[in-house]
Amino acid sequence: MGKSTKSIHAGNLEHPIYGEVSVPIFQSSTFSFPNADEGARRFSGDTDGFIYTRMGNPTIKALEDNLSALENGFAGMATATGMAAITTVLLTVLDQKSHIVSTACVYGPTRVVLEKEFSRFGVESTFVETSDADNIANAIKSHTEVVFVETPANPTILITDLGAAADIAHQHNALLVVDNTFASPYLQRPFEHGADIVVHSLTKYLNGHSDVVGGMIVTRNENLFQRIRPVLNLFGGTMDPHQAWLVLRGVRTLSLRVEKSQNNAAKLAQFLIEHPNVTWVNYPGLPDHPQHHIAKKQMDGFGSMISFGVKNGIEGGKIVMNNVKLLTLAVSLGGVESLIEHPASMTHASVPRKEREESGILDELVRLSVGCEDFEDLRDDLDRALNKIPS
């Protein structure tokens, strides 16, 4: 079954109740049992069935099955947010006083939770530029339990070779966990390259309409699923059934949205290269992107995230932010509308400049999430804003 077909049909109820085409919203906190014996069997796990929405719900399960199918994984677990997915996985697979190697320019809250929260339990974190596999190998220690990569990375759009990362992790009996948010399973399926666990922020491409927050965990095998599911149930980072339904609706148009937005992105990247007030462009589809060959190998397309540098550093970035009209000045990404942000003055303003730049987040960096508008309108809006930067 192809990717577009899976996104529309995977997870649909096998036996519709009233012949419904859309999965219903089962907005119920608890589920009744026909008799006491059936209740006992469900609690013991001898039979399938729903008990309480924190532990499972038909609408949520439909979404879990859909995304597990898209990722070619064993099973999915939906969570309230992307960070709930990440923290649940890390709480499960990291032991006290263990070690994790992570992408340096990983999503900001992921780095914070490792540095500020997991460190309280003796977990040691090493952040390296994972786009160079040698950096991963050199950072591994005897007590490394996890290699965590985000590819493409946020906001630098650098690419990690998933096959190389998996080989290194497995040689040292560590797990490879991949944040696949920026690519989505339509463009990249980490299990095909050796990953053990995949996490997503469903808020982004999978939902695609900037009206839901949610997360997803998908495991390669049953063993990892059986380890993580009880932790999710106990810590309670459960998705709401209505959230799940909205994401299911969004996933149905995933292929259309990704194809349109990445087509726009490819043309915008070329436009930016030629603009006199742009100093550099990072887009995996450009032949001079440092990991273009890796992206071609492990992705089915180059996505719709672009980072680029503007003249005059932070001030130049602010000028662009203050002069766009069609592009929306906001964080997040992956919606049908194009979003733009300036990390050095916004999302990463509290990070010391030296630390920011070591992670590739330069003063002049602008991050662009390209949406599904008409290319000419996006180009003209960017051109007007960029031309406001003084020569």
Q: Which residues are catalytic, by number?
A: 54, 107, 179, 204
Between 241-251 and 58-71, two packed helices, what is the crossing angle to 10 degrees? 40
Residue 379: burial class (beta carbons within 10 Å; 0-12, 13-18, 19+): middle
Alpha carbons 126 and 114: distance in angstroms, whole number = 10
Q: Is the separation of the CB atoms in 174 and 140 below 8 Å?
A: yes
Instruction: Provide the 3-class DSSP secondary structure of residue 385.
Output: helix
Instruction: Provide the 3-class DSSP secondary structure of residue 128.
Output: strand
Alpha carbons 159 and 156: distance in angstroms, whole number = 9
Q: Is the separation of the CB atoms in 73 and 172 below 8 Å?
A: no
User: How many Cβ atoms sit within 10 Å of the Cβ of residue 192?
Assistant: 12
Alpha carbons 119 and 130: distance in angstroms, whole number = 21
The contacts found for 340-347 with CB under 8 angstroms, 24 or more apart, are 340/366, 340/367, 340/368, 340/369, 341/155, 341/366, 341/367, 342/314, 342/317, 342/318, 342/366, 342/367, 343/155, 343/367, 344/313, 344/314, 344/317, 345/314, 345/317, 345/318, 345/321, 346/321, 347/108, 347/155
Which residues fall within 8 angstroms of residue 128, CB to CB, at 6 or more apart?
A: 101, 102, 103, 104, 135, 136, 138, 139
The Cα angle at residue 200 between residues 156 and 81, in degrees rounded to 5: 110
3-state SS of 24-57 is CCCCCCECCCCCHHHHHHHHHCCCCCCCECCCCC
Instruction: Provide the 3-class DSSP secondary structure of residue 317.
Output: helix
Q: How far is the CA of 206 from the CAs of 56, 89, 151, 193, 244, in angstroms?
A: 21, 20, 16, 21, 11
